[in-house]
Copies of this chain bind each other. A is one copy, B any other.
Amino acid sequence: MTATATSPERVSFETHPQQYHHWRLSTDGDLARLTMAVNPSCGLRPGYELKLNSYDLGVDIELADAIQRLRFEHPEVRCVVIDGALDKVFCAGANIQMLRTSGHGWKVNFCKFTNETRLYLEDASQHSGLKSLAACNGATAGGGYELALACDEILLVDDSNSTVSLPEVPLLAVLPGTGGLTRVVDKRMVRRDHADVFSTLVEGIKGQRAIDWKLVDDIAPLSQFEARTKEMARELANSVEDKSDRIGVALPPLEVTHEEGAMRYRYVTVTWDESTRQGELQIQLPNAGNPADATAAHAEGAQWWLFDMFRQIDDALLNMRINLPLINVMSVRVLGNPQVALDSDAFLAAHQDHWFVTEVACFMKRVLKRYDLTAKSFFALADEGTAFAGTWLEFGLGADRFYVLDEEDTPVQLGVSSMNGGAYPMSNDLSRLESRFLGDLDQAGRVLAKQGLIAAADALGLGLSTESMDLIDWEDEIRVHLEERASYSPDSLTGMEANLRFAGPETLETKIFGRLTAWQNWIFQRPNAVGASGALQCYGTPSRPEFDYNRT
């Protein structure tokens, strides 16, 4: 998480429990405890103190790491209790001073990452048999309550002081934007007028009213808090299948070299040029087969090339977002032999009864979602040597455009596998094929029926390629398309892509990234929040905010 020598401001998303500054992770049989113990002096950037278990991106990177490790290193765990190490405060939410001293882009990316992390907690509950209990042993405010909302159940200490609260609107003139407003009405289904009162009540809500309004699941006095925590955790754990026979897989640090204009992993290379605002994401399939069987895959663990590759892609995407703000458009190429991709998919499909294989596929799904939600234009380029097949076809379907070289003398092949049929739902809960062919779902079926290798010449007719070109046009046309894209206002591209990528139904997840986030980003631009006399600037200072009271 600390900066590196080559680029002092680069944020790293890699960490390990032994390096945590802010959390303590322990397991005991099928239960785990993740205790928030934020070190005030270990902020990711200088200029703020992380008092009262308030958090910044660094704290959340550790949280994301802990969830990932629970899923892979401690697969026997069926319930994690998230509690706090402080006496009267569970978590005070995002650090205000950090927000105040952050630029707009940082705030937006911080919120996106924290939102993804909370969704991963919910994903673990739904898909990995890992339930979570927020044991709120003190004041649970703002982002603290939003973290609790992402857990399956919430227990609040019943004392004279401790409340749950979303005081962002009245105190800071911003929204509870880490899913708070959405989860209150859409997940916990709090009545909208109660939600309105709650979201404007600085002091929050406690006791029986918190239960009656569905804001928490239970309360317990301090003397019984630990006992009740254990009881609820036990119930949650027992609600999922026994996983005691699962042996964890260690997640070693990724090997990556950073240099000027390039990040190089074993299977992933990112290169970029700030002067053109363009970059390239290259994914290299190995010349390797599959493990012999699921047991062998499990034995390979993090060395299994498939898992290793997607961990690298995930890290590369996160780096792109935070560390490469000036890169606007990314070419995407999957290189290698498309048959390797299809064989790998066959292996994945055949071994879904093994927890580790399933967990890896579930992780791949999240990486692909991260791709959909990355605010860069992605142009996938299927030219010589590429292998957009099966799982890797998703990088073409998920791109804003997918160009295919169709030249008789240069055979390019794509491929379709059963994994394109729903193994990797987008945030809108549709597969990328279904999202693409929303108006003609039969076409999605026709593509799926073509399982196997697909000649480049067929890509256009199947609706896979945006445009197919021959070699004479390829280089010039692609160059012009990329240059044009890179010349547009990045804000308008971000807004456009956020609308075009998610056709069809909305879910809790898309509502968080669409509706809630877009409104929050708007507010993060408004003087009432971020101006010199805005509430975010004045909070905790002697100054009172001065608002422009015109309603928009």
> Which residues of A are in contact with B by a Cβ distance under 8 Å?
104-105, 108-109, 168-170, 172-175, 181-182, 184-186, 188-197, 199-200, 214, 277, 325-328, 375-376, 399-402, 435-440, 463, 466-467, 484-485, 488-506, 510-511, 514-516, 518-523, 525-526, 528-529, 535, 545, 547-552
Contact = CB atoms under 8 A, between A and B. Distances in A.
B196 A491 contact: no
A400 B493 CA distance: 34
Given A197-B401, A437-B191, A328 B549 contact: yes
A472 to B, nearest CB: 21
Given A522-B495, A535-B489, A549 B277 contact: yes
A240 to B, nearest CB: 23
Contacts of A194: 466
Contacts of A214: 439
Contact of A489 (B195, B501, B511, B528): B528
Contacts of A490: 528, 547-552
Given A181-B500, A192-B400, A328-B549, 7 more contacts: A184-B500, A185-B500, A193-B399, A193-B402, A197-B401, A514-B514, A518-B518
Nearest to A192: B500
Contacts of A503: 185-186, 189, 192
A172, A399, A400, A435: residue with the most chain B Cβ atoms closer than 10 Å = A400
Given A493-B169, A495-B175, A519 B516 contact: no
Given A500-B199, A552-B105, A492 B327 contact: no
B515 A169 contact: no
20 contacts: A169-B488, A169-B496, A181-B496, A191-B437, A193-B401, A196-B496, A328-B551, A375-B552, A489-B535, A491-B528, A491-B529, A494-B551, A506-B506, A514-B514, A514-B515, A518-B521, A518-B522, A519-B521, A521-B522, A522-B522
Contacts of A519: 494-495, 498-499, 518, 521
A200 B193 CA distance: 42
B520 A495 contact: yes
